[in-house]
Structure 1
């Protein structure tokens, strides 16, 4: 099961820049998208004519037009879906679906955590959403499940090139990082970090401005968190970083992981 998570920075813009074509070329079983910034009609129009148009869709749009929005696309049967996480509805930051792959049900969640701003109401709202996210993930950890997307938090100094210059700023606050630490302590596995080890990067976001991309001065804020069942069969995670600045179709790069579900069958999971 090939799974991709990508903050598309607007589904319509990603289509114009070749993002949907790139995603389809990876032949994913599941794609989780964040910041799609589209109504249901706009989303369908953006997908029309692409290989992803044949995928089943679960989409949570924001009540604010042109803002946020998350989605799950799957080439397999979509058993159920929900857009609500502990009362946070109409914000377009959480969509969850049960996907049936080869007779096995896997719970998939696509999440977008907004940026925040230290010392403001915006940051307080970010923590409230992270509280709800943490509570829901505690309920999912015992099943085959993936929670992935743009968390807008660099977990450690290895997840941010300019970590010294970002101390005290949203995205690199100790209180934010504590949420991700607790997730890993409670069984969730950051599959990219588990595969790459305790080293800087690989980053998944770079500013459009300046030479951040060319210098690889980025942040790793896009994650695939796997429950223990699926983490055990995660294979070769990688970041879909564009070969050059002018080939970028989002300010984020996709995170791609293969999960060997056949291995679950042989272990009796």
Structure 2
């Protein structure tokens, strides 16, 4: 059975809808879509924006921020978050009540401070033995020593490394969470894939201007080392990189500033990380980069992978 899975940071579903999200959704015919930065209260979700897909949405509690969702063809067997209530809605429904998620592996202690931020949702698909997760990982910041070196040159107000340390706590906990979710899926006879915005470019091939970004958040050595630590032929495989082993990119995020989009000065921070069995089933993978700036749906582009289950 063919299974098309897309990951898309929409940078606000209401803004993305105005730019043409529904047209992309209908034309792409994905079976599962992981969304990040939905950034919309449940009651304000645009009617019909998700077409004929079932919705599992963890909106989080921070107004106008975060929010992750999974759209599926069939109602999922189970929906899990970091413990936060979730919206489960069938096509055509309009109710706004959040329900408790299904039980899952014990949440690592490092993730408890992130539980209500709308950063993670996973579902057990009903039609194929696969568990799919959607992730929005914290952006982070610079460590304190780099902030001192860059005094007067930072765009953001120095915070003594607080955002960096917070991101590193998330990474420590999420590595454990990935192991627990992957093993739980295996115990249930399921493959596992996590898609989403990891806010980390793993290697020099994942960022156009890597020399100029050695001291940038999202490309710091500890962040890149963390990505390396969760990948292996036995655990999780970066399936897009596996399809393009010697290619720069394909990038999926470009700044709105300057000519970054036109010059393809991008970052590859949106991933599909799949268990080896699922990774071996990939038949196609790529990025839906729009033809022009005027046609952009978001600052990210969808990352789409076809699996043959």
TM (normalized to structure 2)?
0.80
Match of 1:122 in 2: 163
| Alignment of 1:89 onto 2:115 | yes
| Alignment of 1:175 onto 2:222 | yes
Does the CA-based 8 Å contact 2:26-2:51 persist in structure 1? no
3-state DSSP of counterpart to 1:180:
helix
3-state DSSP of counterpart to 1:53:
coil
Match of 1:249 in 2: 297
- 2:276 corresponds to which of 215, 228, 234: 228
3-state DSSP of counterpart to 1:165:
helix
Change (3 A) 1:81 1:49: closer
Match of 2:33 in 1: 31
Distance 2:265 2:240 in 1: 18
- 1:21 corresponds to which of 6, 20, 23: 23
Q: What residue ranges of structure 2 are gaps of 5+ in the alignment? A: 83-106, 144-160
Deviations 1:218-264 (CA, angstroms, capped at 9, x unpaired): 00000000111211101110100001111001000100001101xxx
Q: Which moved more, 1:131-140 or 1:192-201?
A: 131-140
Match of 1:267 in 2: none
| Alignment of 1:131 onto 2:172 | yes
Distance 2:246 2:227 in 1: 16
Shift of 1:49: 3.2
Match of 2:56 in 1: 58
Match of 2:89 in 1: none
3-state DSSP of counterpart to 1:178:
helix
| Alignment of 1:98 onto 2:146 | no
Distance 1:125 1:234 in 2: 34
Shift of 1:141: 3.2
Match of 2:67 in 1: 69
Match of 2:48 in 1: 49
Shift of 1:198: 2.4
Deviations 1:201-220 (CA, angstroms, capped at 9, x unpaired): 11000000100000000000
Match of 2:288 in 1: 240
3-state DSSP of counterpart to 2:200:
coil
Distance 1:99 1:39 in 2: 25
Match of 1:265 in 2: none
Q: What residue ranges of structure 1 are gaps of 5+ in the alignment? A: 262-269
Structural mapping, 1:148-159, within 5 Å: 148-159=195-206
Deviations 1:89-141 (CA, angstroms, capped at 9, x unpaired): 1111111111112xx33111100012111111111111111122211111233
3-state DSSP of counterpart to 1:78:
coil
Point out the structure with max Rg over C-alpha.
2
Deviations 1:152-201 (CA, angstroms, capped at 9, x unpaired): 00000000001111112210011001111011125211111000112211
Does the CA-based 8 Å contact 1:150-1:223 persist in structure 2? yes
Does the CA-based 8 Å contact 1:9-1:34 persist in structure 2? yes
Structural mapping, 1:148-227, within 5 Å: 148-185=195-232, 187-227=235-275
Q: Which moved more, 1:169-178 or 1:79-88?
A: 79-88
3-state DSSP of counterpart to 1:141:
helix
- The RMSD of aligned alpha carbons is 1.3
Does the CA-based 8 Å contact 1:141-1:228 persist in structure 2? no
Does the CA-based 8 Å contact 1:195-1:237 persist in structure 2? yes
